[in-house]
Amino acid sequence: AIAFVGTATAADLKPEEQIQTRQAGYSFMSWNMGKIKANLDGDYSQPQVEAAANAIAGIANSGMGALYGPGTDKDIGDVKTRVKPELFTDQEGVGEVAVAFIEAANNMAETAALGDEAEVKAAFGKLGESCKACHKKYRKD
């Protein structure tokens, strides 16, 4: 549960709220990745995969970079973060993984809309790689 419920319309989040909101975005994407995986491993529901892919693409394109503001590089009280310091200094590297991620998410959404399962599998693999590429460099285990 996040503390800024009362100020749901405030655009400027406190550092601890930025950390919680980026974690919320990643967690929600992760749930949707799991749904796509389950569809590929079992009975394939094109509408469910398309919906999951659209949720991921919507989040990927929402400008999550704004949730890495000053003061969000360290734990703030109970609000823990796993971000590595490199994310705040390696601008070029971050730009590369971020662009690759957004492209993979958009490709996934487009492919899911068409519905060919083999192509979806390939797009899903690429998207998963793009998550991992960022985690490897910028997220603590």
Q: Is 53 exposed, middle or buried (0-12, 13-18, 19+ CB in 10 A)?
A: buried
| Per CB under 6 A, 8 contacts ligand HEC | yes
Which of a second copy, ligand HEC, none has residue 58 at its interface (CB below 5 to 8 Å by kind)? Answer: a second copy
| Per CB under 8 A, 4 contacts a second copy | yes
| Other beta carbons within 10 Å of 36 | 25
Site string for a second copy, 24-63 (x = CB under 8 A): xx-xx-xxxxxx-xx---------x--xx-xxxxxx-xxx
Cα separation, 87 vs 126, whole angstroms: 22
Cβ closer to a second copy: 78 or 92? 78
- Which among 2-10, 37-45, 46-54, 111-119 is the span making contact with ligand HEC, rule CB under 6 A? 2-10
Return the amino acid letter for 30. Answer: S
Q: Is 140 exposed, middle or buried (0-12, 13-18, 19+ CB in 10 A)?
A: exposed
Cα separation, 30 vs 48, whole angstroms: 15
| Per CB under 6 A, 101 contacts ligand HEC | yes
- Which among 76-84, 86-94, 114-122 is the span making contact with a second copy, rule CB under 8 A? 76-84
